[in-house]
């Protein structure tokens, strides 16, 4: 599926000027990478790097997700939503696998072009764009872009009259954690007049897009949305347009837990519905973000402090000997613990939902978990149950690749978390993956040798 020859990414057309520190790729299971890293740290020497949260990215997961997509939704071309996680190796692997990219800004477009992706494989999927960014897209021949209002049409007429326009419509996002319809999407009532304005301005409308909302937990939302898109296709046809692109957006679950929504459940109804409503000459793309990025990243965080909350609500301050000898109060004496952990959490890395990794089988106690900043909204959860933890212990959270690294801030002067890479599948596919990554590595080294250090 897609090009297996990422060496083209390093051809002479490759644009100089970008920077990447090519990281080493481990070949161990994620838990071994976590363990090795933690055991290699000398916390007693109090080196600051030893306490920082870090991610482990398992690149096999990206590869596996792509295989899953291609097997279950072969008609729909994924354009990865860069905003979800612009990790450089993740982007390069997806480019090597042949996906397209959904970019939301000039920097995202630049990043994707700089790894050698063809402009035709990019959709500028932000319905409200800065004028200078539209001009940038025009200069670099990134033609596909979305709109949902008439002002945007006038802007595009001025800065990129040859753009290929995709009308973003509103859908029912009530079944999603992140309701993007609060901000974007034209109501069906307004689509007729928007198309007429586009016609008046002699603009080239090629299709319809929607987004059912990020973290969608009802697969039927996709079905409702494709019916709305079909309505607009028909309306456009009556107005003399010949639309040929359907963009079904993001919101695809990566979960394999059959009790909730899964990618399999979405694919089972979405694929056939599209086939029944849209003839084969209609090109269908999607903008998955979370689906690709979430399962690939695990974050490990270090407990930097513990506060014991007494039954009367006071916080007991323990001296270090008490902590180290674990003479902390029993559950009868107190109502729980507050753990502060390293890593830019509420403010960045963990803004969303997370799951705990391993259940250690020990007695658990009520606790709350907080980030390290001085702000009290820096709270991960107020209602958790964990075995007693001590400062110096580590927690890890799986499936943390979506909207985490990209949203990390340096509020209060805390550092962003590093990423360690691994790839471990033992099947034949992985030989291809490693070959791809090997070529990527060799390509970069060659590039460095031939062209020198990028500017």
Task: Note the residues at the interface with ligand PLP (CB under 6 A).
Answer: 81, 84, 102, 125, 180, 211, 214, 249-252, 287-291, 402
SS3 content of the chain, % helix, strand, coil (to 5): 40, 20, 40
> Which C-beta is closer to ligand PLP: that of 251 or that of 371?
251
3-state SS, residue 359: coil
258 is annotated as an active-site residue:
no
Q: What is the DSSP letter of 186?
A: B
User: CB-wise, 353 or 390, nearer to ligand PLP?
Assistant: 353
66 versus 211: smaller Cβ distance to ligand PLP: 211
CA-to-CA separations, 403 to 197, 301, 346, 366, 453, in angstroms, rounded: 36, 17, 12, 28, 31
Kindly tell me which of 84 and 225 has the beta carbon lying closer to ligand PLP. 84
Q: For residue 38, give the nearest of 420, 445, 322, 381 by alpha carbon.
A: 420
Buried b (16+ CB within 10 A) or exposed e, 221-250: bbbebbebbbebbebbeeeebebebbbbbb
- Per the CB < 8 A criterion, the answer to whether 195 and 239 are in contact is yes
Minimum CB distance to ligand PLP, residue 283 (Å): 17
Distance of closest approach, residue 447 Cβ to ligand PLP, in angstroms: 30
Nearest approach in angstroms of CB 159 to ligand PLP is 20
Closest CB 82 distance from ligand PLP, rounded Å: 9
Tokens of 150: 């008439």
Supply angle C-alpha 354, 359, 363, rounded to 5: 120
By beta-carbon distance, which residue lies closest to ligand PLP? Answer: 250
Q: Which is nearer to ligand PLP, 125 or 400 (CB)?
A: 125
Cβ–Cβ contacts within 10 Å for residue 452, how many?
9
How do beta strands 54-58 and 25-26 pair?
Answer: unpaired
For tokens 């969608």, the residue is 216
**Nearer of residues 241 and 291 to ligand PLP, judged by Cβ:** 291
C-alpha 114: how far from chain center: 19
User: Which of 211, 228 has the CB closer to ligand PLP?
Assistant: 211
| Cβ 66 to ligand PLP shortest distance, Å | 14
**What six digits make up the tokens of 453?**
């250090």
User: What are residue 384's DSSP bridge partners?
Assistant: 367
> 263 or 339, CB closer to ligand PLP?
263
Q: How far is the CB of 216 from ligand PLP (least distance, A)?
A: 7
Element at 178 (helix H, strand E) = strand 176-178
H or E segment to which residue 316 belongs: strand 315-316
Please identify which residue in the block is written with the tokens 């481990």. Answer: 26
CB atoms closer than 10 angstroms to residue 156: 24
Catalytic residue among 103, 216, 258, 374: 374
CB of 325 to ligand PLP, least distance (A): 46
Q: How far is the CB of 97 from ligand PLP (least distance, A)?
A: 17
Q: What is the four-CA torsion angle of 346, 292, 31, 177, rounded to 10 degrees?
A: 40
Task: Give the residue numbers marked as catalytic.
Answer: 374
């Amino acid at each position: 599926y897609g090009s297996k020859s990422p060496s083209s990414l390093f051809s002479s057309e490759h644009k100089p000027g970008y920077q990447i520190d090519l990281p080493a790729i481990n070949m161990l299971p994620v838990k071994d990478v976590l363990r090795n890293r933690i055991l290699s740290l000398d916390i007693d020497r109090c080196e600051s790097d030893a306490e920082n949260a870090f991610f482990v990215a398992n690149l096999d997961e990206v590869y596996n997700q792509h295989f899953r997509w291609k097997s279950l939704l072969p008609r729909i071309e994924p354009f990865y939503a860069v905003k979800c996680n612009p990790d450089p190796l993740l982007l390069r692997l997806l480019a090597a696998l042949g996906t397209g990219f959904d970019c939301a800004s000039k920097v995202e477009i630049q990043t994707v072009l700089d790894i050698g992706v063809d402009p035709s494989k990019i959709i500028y999927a932000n319905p409200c764009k800065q004028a200078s960014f539209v001009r940038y897209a025009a200069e670099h021949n990134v033609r596909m872009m979305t709109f949902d209002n008439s002002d945007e049409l006038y802007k595009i007429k001025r800065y990129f009259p040859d753009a290929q326009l995709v009308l973003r419509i509103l859908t029912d996002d009530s079944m999603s954690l992140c309701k993007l319809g609060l901000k974007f999407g034209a109501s069906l009532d307004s689509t007729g007049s928007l198309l007429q304005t586009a016609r008046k301005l002699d603009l080239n409308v090629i299709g319809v897009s929607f987004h059912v909302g990020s973290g969608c937990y009802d697969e039927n939302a996709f079905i409702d949305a494709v019916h709305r898109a079909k309505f607009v296709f028909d309306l456009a046809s009556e107005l003399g347009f010949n639309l040929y692109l359907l963009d079904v957006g993001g919101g695809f679950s990566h979960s394999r837990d059959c009790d909730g929504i899964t990618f399999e459940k979405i694919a089972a109804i979405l694929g056939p519905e599209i086939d029944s409503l849209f003839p084969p000459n209609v090109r269908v793309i999607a903008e998955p973000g979370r689906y690709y990025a979430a399962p690939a990243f695990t974050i490990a965080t270090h407990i930097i402090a513990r506060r014991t909350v007494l039954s009367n609500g006071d916080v007991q301050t323990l001296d270090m000997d008490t902590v180290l000898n674990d003479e902390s109060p029993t559950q009868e004496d107190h109502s729980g613990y507050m753990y502060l952990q390293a890593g830019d959490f509420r403010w960045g890395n963990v803004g969303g939902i997370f799951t705990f990794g391993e259940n250690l089988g020990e007695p658990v106690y009520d606790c709350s978990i907080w980030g390290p900043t001085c702000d009290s909204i820096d709270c991960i959860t107020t209602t958790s149950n964990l075995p007693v933890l001590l400062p110096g212990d580590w927690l890890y959270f799986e499936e943390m690749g979506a909207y985490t690294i990209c949203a990390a801030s340096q509020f209060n002067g805390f550092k962003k978390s590093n990423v360690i890479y691994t790839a471990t599948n033992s099947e034949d596919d992985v030989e291809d993956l490693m070959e791809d990554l090997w070529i990527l590595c060799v390509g970069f080294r060659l590039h460095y040798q031939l062209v020198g250090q990028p500017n």
